[in-house]
Chains A and B, each alone.
Chain A
Amino acid sequence: MRRIAIALGLPVVLVAVWWFASAGSTDFYRPALSRILLAFRETWFGPRLFDDALPSVGRLFAGYALALVLGVALGTAIGAIPWLRALLEPALEFLRAIPPPVLVPIIILIAGFGDLMKVIVIVSGCVWPILLNTVEGVRGVDEVLADTCRSYRITGAMRLRHFVLRAASPQIVTGARQALSIGIILMVISEMIAASQGLGFTIVQFQRGFQIPEMWSGVLLLGLLGVGLSALFQVFERRILIWYHGQRAEMREW
């Protein structure tokens, strides 16, 4: 009870402060919270949900999933083969260092303005943290466990599935978490730069058209999307890494 009160206390206070401080606001740029919430309902619980919001999220998922597959596959190969890693590491370091949004104009040149471009943009940004973390994870697998696999003839797909990928999973998850926030950024950016629909496009449209409460509602929606996806991610992480967190908690007690 007390814990819930403490957890909810500050958020409630903050929202209340925002509500009352902005109530009856006449500042054009900072409308009342009640006005924003009204705009939120009018704007996003209608055709915009299906025409703009959901397609954006769909592209995000598509690009993210693709990046996950690519990053883990390539990362596993690179992590497991020392000469390949030595060969590719500097090149990968450079490619990763490019801030992903600047690739948007380049990818537009090659893939046009459609969905494909946006998915490629998301993949091109999300793949690096996943790939590099997978490499680290695969490289750092425990030698004794590797010996165990060899002496018990655990090889091939079995070894990959039950040993390598599981052993690397804490790092892979770390990379996937970084990739998720980059993915959201790129979803929005690609639509802000070049699109005729989607969340990013709509919000910029509101801003340029001085539909201020609508714009605020879009900002709110993006925030909620980020929070929602990160909560979803945590659910998956808990399930995948239950052993890891348990083991770490166990070690801390020592």
Chain B
Amino acid sequence: MSRALLGATGLLGLIAIGEAVPRLGLVPIQYAPPPSRIAAALASEAQQPRFWTAVGDTLRTWAEGLAIALVAGVVLGVVIGSVPLLRAATASTIEFLRPIPSVALIPLAALLYGATITSTRVLVVYAAFWQVLVQVLHGVADVDPVAHETARVYRLGRWARVRYLIWPTALPYALTGLRLAASVALILAITGELVIGSPGLGREIAVAQGSGVSAVPTMYAYVVVTGLIGLCANAFARMGERRILAWHPAIRREVAAA
């Protein structure tokens, strides 16, 4: 059997198990609705403008936060990475700030910005920024020392070095950072909505959760939607990476310290 067929079988199997387990009474059906009911709930939600507004809000928070993090991460990464003194001076600070969980900022954001898109965006930017920055720093560090020497021998200016030497080496790393950041950013976008209550899919899930047993299939439907968005985000990030790097000779490997 071909891979694709096996994979489809696996997906169908997952759906079948999801359908059978509640129907056989192994878990309470009102708490774990079978996929058919979730699909029905999804279909009815999809007819309401409110659903699409939520999807749009989530996507917007995610994309804006990601874009800010990407620009900031790349610019700072290249600047810090290409100045040895700066790199040494910031290393410990970066090591310290990076593992601070972004959820720690939730109460701060909620306090300062309330239940708005802005407060969730702060979380998204914070979480995504480190992913990009760390990868770019690794990328800049990976520039071939011989190439560095060559550039110096030919008296390439600082800008030319960034443009022709550092940037091409760091690009694959930056894209890896973007891919990692994209999935983290989505998690934080939806988390912020769920916990802070800023508009988006996360808030809809919280609303459905608070609306009693009848809304349970709706809640599942929203969860499935977040999964689908996550899937698309992954697929797009991978595709973009492949597209942009098709010409690129560098070996792409995920930095172990990610």
- The interface of chain A, by Cβ under 8 A from chain B, is 3, 6-11, 14, 29, 83, 86-91, 93-106, 108-110, 170, 173-174, 177-178, 181-182, 184-185, 188-189, 192-193, 200, 203-204, 206-207, 212, 215-216, 218-219, 222-223, 225-227, 229-230
Q: How many residues does chain B have at the interface if contact means C-beta atoms less than 8 Å apart?
A: 64
- The interface of chain B, by Cβ under 8 A from chain A, is 1, 3, 6-11, 13-14, 27, 31-32, 85, 88-93, 96, 98-108, 110-112, 183, 186-187, 190-191, 194-195, 202, 205-206, 208-209, 216, 219-220, 222-224, 226-231, 233-234, 254, 256, 258
Least distance between B230 CB and chain A CB atoms (Å): 3
Q: How many A-B residue pairs have CB under 8 A?
A: 168
A-B contact sample (14 more), CB < 8 A, given A91-B7, A189-B195, A216-B108: A10-B89, A87-B9, A90-B8, A91-B14, A94-B231, A98-B224, A99-B187, A100-B187, A101-B187, A105-B205, A109-B216, A200-B103, A212-B111, A227-B99
**A87 and B10 contact, CB distance less than 8 A:** yes
Considering the complex, give the chain B residue whose CB is closest to the CB of A212: B111
Contact residues in A for B13 (Cβ distance below 8 Å): 87, 91
Q: What is the predominant secondary structure among interface residues of chain B facing chain A?
A: helix
A10-B89, A102-B226, A106-B219 as given contacts; A223 in contact with B7, CB under 8 Å: no
Bound complex: CA of A96 vs CA of B194, how far in Å? 19
Contact residues in B for A182 (Cβ distance below 8 Å): 187
Q: 26 A–B contact pairs at CB < 8 A?
A: A6-B85, A10-B89, A10-B92, A11-B96, A86-B6, A90-B11, A94-B227, A94-B228, A96-B230, A97-B227, A97-B228, A99-B187, A99-B230, A101-B190, A102-B190, A103-B223, A104-B194, A109-B32, A173-B256, A174-B258, A182-B187, A189-B194, A219-B104, A219-B108, A222-B103, A226-B101
